[in-house]
Structure 1
């Protein structure tokens, strides 16, 4: 049974992550797995300080630092358990009852990769605990997760409400066609109005593919509002998003290139950074 992997860290956005997960679990009839990852805290105990202080003093300081690391780990473990308990209570209050909890001593990216084989959807916050409520800041882990996993990812922001519509940014390329098929097959977005938005680009037969995609979605039961746009891709999509009042964004993943400069210049990443709406990234 595939699960909704729900990543929480006790940050200001954790309740919104849980709200998004709860909606997703109801849409897909899948259980929720709450995931809390405890990052290893690297301290300078491995540095060679023998030339600066005496051996006895050095040994005493290293022992003290080791004790502090142990105390820090115990506090992190306790805080993590409280965070998991709070999130479970939040989910139960919102009508979700099939819930599991897990705590991992690893980075969040590694933890998600370990659990991906049993994942139907990954739900994570746009910004994490380290950003202290700065919702415009993109968590550094988001880029790595999108690069490494093939499971759909729902990125939550500072607020989440039950969506009634979504905007699909369709560019006529292979990743967009795959995203359309995943929307049809997946079930998560069934019952929502689809705003199909395409910006004129260099893809072959883009206008014809746009019309075919609209018809395909309609034949599969979606209510589709289609708009063929012109201009700069990012600007045109953002203007349409604002004008149409959509509740959620959906995009196919960007280039598979391993070059960071290609990834960082993608319209997908810019959309994630600049919007306050929840966003689904499909591979």
Structure 2
């Protein structure tokens, strides 16, 4: 009879432990999922901003070509006798391709420098969970499990490293728009030089039309000055991402290590006791 009661009590104790394990594990997985959701939301916001700003930059590049073609059409309308050909004009596609390339490279950099380290943080948390809820540390789980769901070790903290990239894209677009607006103004000034010719001066008008493609190409080629602009923004942004992730990762790993150390010290304070030594009692118990 006494043996039956003992087995029932042991079963109840085991069931309680199993229930605690389930609840505590559920809380930890929920905390990890919440952090990942925050990170993914920030990544989606950054991606939308990246696409929006890239499209604005590309629109600015295309806008120069449109403005130039309209100016040429207006010239031919006002001076039907002019003979200006556009086959000598360079294109601006080279910079449009550079904008796309820079965006793609930066997107890959974010994956390498933010999203991949996020996986390391999740793995560190899972390893700590596994250690915390191991059989030898089971008595300490309830005491320290809540520490694994604290916001300070959430992988969601890396969202800040993504959000800070948004000004980078805005800055790149603003710089592109600024130079290309200047280029449009330069086109207007160049086209206005036709007014320097007297209405009856065919030689002056002929020279203007002959020189015009070279003058416009000078403006188009000035867009090449933007080549260094994406690199200027992206290099600093990549370095900032790396430092941001390094600081947060270091902070999280230190906190996790403190939790694991506390668990180890806690487990060391227990010793086998009771019938057949199947229970663990604190060394401070009497």
Taking structure 2 as the reference length, the TM-score comes to 0.24
Q: Which has the higher contact order (CA 8 A, sep 6+)?
A: 2
Taking structure 1 as the reference length, the TM-score comes to 0.24
Structure with the larger strand share: 1
Rg larger for = 2
